[in-house]
Amino acid sequence: MQIFEKSLLFMNRRKFISNGTKAGLIAGSVANPSRLFAGKEEVVHHPKGKAEHCIMLWLAGGVAHLDTWDPKTLGDPDKRKTGSAYPAIKTAIPGVKVCEHLPRVAAMLDRFMLIRTVNHGIVDEHSAATNFVHTGRPTQGTIVYPSIGSIVANQRGNLADGIPPYVVVGYPSIQRGPGFLGTKSGFVYLTDTEVGPSGLTRPSYIDSARQRDRETLLNRLRRNYVSKNPNDKKIADYDAAIGESFKLTKGDFMSAFKLKNEPASLRETYGGEFGQRCLLSRRLVQRGVRFIEVSFNLNFINGTGWDTHNAGQKNQHILIQQLDQALATLVTDLENNELLDKTLIVVASEFGRPPEFDSGGGRGHWSKTFSVALAGGGLKTGQVIGQTDELGKLPVSDPVSVPDLHATIHCALGIDPSKNLYDGSRPVPITDRGQPVAKLFS
């Protein structure tokens, strides 16, 4: 007994757990001999889509699903009457209605798939919910989980040299980051659609000769520092990121931001700043970017953005109208360029909003059910997944968890959602037991 106890002190903890698991399997096989000869673990076959790109339109703040994709009985914000704030209209999908402020999208809803029963149990707070919808996991323990954009970048890589696999059009945040996957799976971000990432644009007072001198000096410093720290993975990742950034300045990537090269009529059709971001996303897809997140963070159009507490509800229709214009144009533009089947569009936010109105005539936060709209991606469009109750508060059929949503996106892009990534030696499945929505695949 003493020998056994001493051996445990020196046994690697992970090896001990692994050995214990094997012992349990052997013991189970004695009781059930068929398991002993079952061979490898059962392989789960997920559908494999053919999409090459994903554009996520991120509506930060929490979109009221009753006022957009899942209209219910008409309410009244001024009278605090529970229900939708706007009348519903018919769409290209028979029997399916959306808000009256989405007429362009309604006319082409056959290119879309509405998932009306997405839900999660994370606290109804913006940061925590945003992190969960981006990573598919709650913040916990010592693991910093990668965002879905970083996973796509890691698994699919870039389509061309000098083109980043992952771009965020909006402000950066840790929720959108690579987590344990490291810098190489991170994003390039920008806030100015016509200039591009500020760090990739050479200042006017730096001529070509001076730029070459600077790069020569920097390369010398990089080589020396890496040689002195040959086993430091973080330094290696950072050095690789610097190398990639130089490639971005010299390739076709920066030409994507010359939006004035597009016909004026098309730019006008896309609409304002959010529309121009959507136009940029199409140009980035054409250059080979795998995952693009476009933020609709124009928060002061209605005073609150999509976080429609109190008076923010009164001008929410302006946001919805801009979404309708930009989204419908993006779908049409991708279709005209033969890119819609290759590009999955995801319109999402961190949660929905309840059917009741607060004391100021707005709505609170609601994560127990909300809607996510998908379009294109080579999936089976023209359908609605899930049904909510008469108030839009809870799923009645086909609930879809956030890990399920992630699995669906990954499968559309040809990524196995059950595959293990590794945080050091620790295996971490790409999704937290997420299952793709089978009805969306042929």
Residue 409 has pLDDT above 70, yes or no: yes
With pLDDT > 70 as the criterion, what percentage of the chain qualifies? 84
Window from 16-30, 51-65, 92-106 with minimum mean pLDDT: 16-30
pLDDT per position as a tens digit, 236-282:
777 776 766 666 766 789 999 999 999 999 999 999 999 999 999 99
What pLDDT score was predicted for residue 297?
79
* Mode of pairing for the β-strands spanning 97-99 and 88-90: antiparallel
Whole-angstrom distance, CA of residue 317 vs CA of residue 312: 10
What pLDDT score was predicted for residue 393?
97
Task: Give the 3-state DSSP-derived string for 229-268, with helices as H, strands as E and coil as C.
Answer: CCCCHHHHHHHHHHHHHHHHHHCCHHHHHCHHHCCHHHHH
**pLDDT-derived band of residue 14, with 50, 70 and 90 as boundaries?**
very low
**pLDDT-derived band of residue 335, with 50, 70 and 90 as boundaries?**
very high
Residue 279, H or E segment: helix 273-287
Write down the mean pLDDT value for the chain: 87
Residue 134 neighbours by CB under 8 Å, 6+ apart: 147, 148, 149, 175, 176
What pLDDT score was predicted for residue 131?
97
Window from 27-31, 54-58, 193-197 with minimum mean pLDDT: 27-31
What pLDDT score was predicted for residue 245?
66
Q: Which two tokens stand for residue 406?
A: 């992630």
pLDDT per position as a tens digit, 199-211:
666 666 776 677 6
Whole-angstrom distance, CA of residue 362 vs CA of residue 355: 10
pLDDT per position as a tens digit, 300-328:
687 789 999 988 899 999 999 999 999 99
With pLDDT > 90 as the criterion, what percentage of the chain qualifies? 70
